[in-house]
Amino acid sequence: MRNATRADAIPTQVKDPNLVERRRRQIADAAARLFVAKGFHKTTTRQIARAADISIGSLYEYFTTKEDILYIVCDFIHTEMERGVATAMADASGGRDALAKVIREYFMVCHRMSDFILMIYQETQSLPRQWQQRVLENELRITGLLVGVLARLSQSGELPHLDERSIELTAHNIMVMGHMWTFRRWFLAKHYSIEDYIKLQTDAILRMCASGWGGDASRVAS
């Protein structure tokens, strides 16, 4: 599921890469639930091992520190987000609704994983600087997928012509709008369904793109 070079950043005593992948997924899934429920600092490695149904000794065969586990949890979450965007890109037939389909899938991933995304923002300050940097790189890689979609549609004429800076800023805006559902869900979910939120924010993004030509959203939304 994950990029092997990113997994290699965490040392392990186990030689079988497939076993490492399975066990780390097992441990990370248990840890993610505990971090969301209790917080990183109030969760112990013994609690993680118990929730993952393994011994504490086995846990330390795959991770050296609790911070390593937190990094892998963040990496798994970003991988799921990246996969959702990439799948939407592959499934989109092109044309003027391609961007809307990608935005929808990204927002739905944020909706499904909102507790975990919020956890990333709350807990990554506990990571060593090198892991914090890698988490930021993961965020930028997902943004880069959105940049690619926008650039391709702009070059093909399916979106108004946008310069490089406008494309990059629009991609970051999409990322932030998806995360806003997570951060402000306590308010937004009382007033909007996720479908309403996606439609309204997609219309706003399309209008923003259309302003590059001085047109309106109907030019790219139809």
The domains found in the chain, sorted by start residue, are: 67-221 (1.10.357.10)
Task: Write down the pLDDT at residue 214.
Answer: 39
Task: Write down the pLDDT at residue 146.
Answer: 92
Whether 213 shows a pLDDT value over 60: the answer reads: no
Torsion of CA 106, 149, 172, 6, to 10 degrees: 70
Whether 22 shows a pLDDT value over 50: the answer reads: yes
Average pLDDT value for residue range 157-180: 90
Phi then psi for residue 168, to 5 deg, are -65, -45
In whole angstroms, give the CA distance from residue 216 to residue 17. 51
Whether 181 shows a pLDDT value over 90: the answer reads: yes
Average pLDDT value for residue range 59-69: 94
Tokens of 52: 């993952």
In whole angstroms, give the CA distance from residue 73 to residue 62. 13
In whole angstroms, give the CA distance from residue 21 to residue 34. 20
Whether 161 shows a pLDDT value over 70: the answer reads: yes
- Over pLDDT 90: what percentage of the chain? 64
Q: How confident is the model at residue 218 (pLDDT cuts 50, 70, 90)?
A: very low
In whole angstroms, give the CA distance from residue 94 to residue 97. 7
The residues, any chain, with a CB within 8 Å of residue 46's CB and separated by 6 or more, are: 56
Whether 215 shows a pLDDT value over 80: the answer reads: no
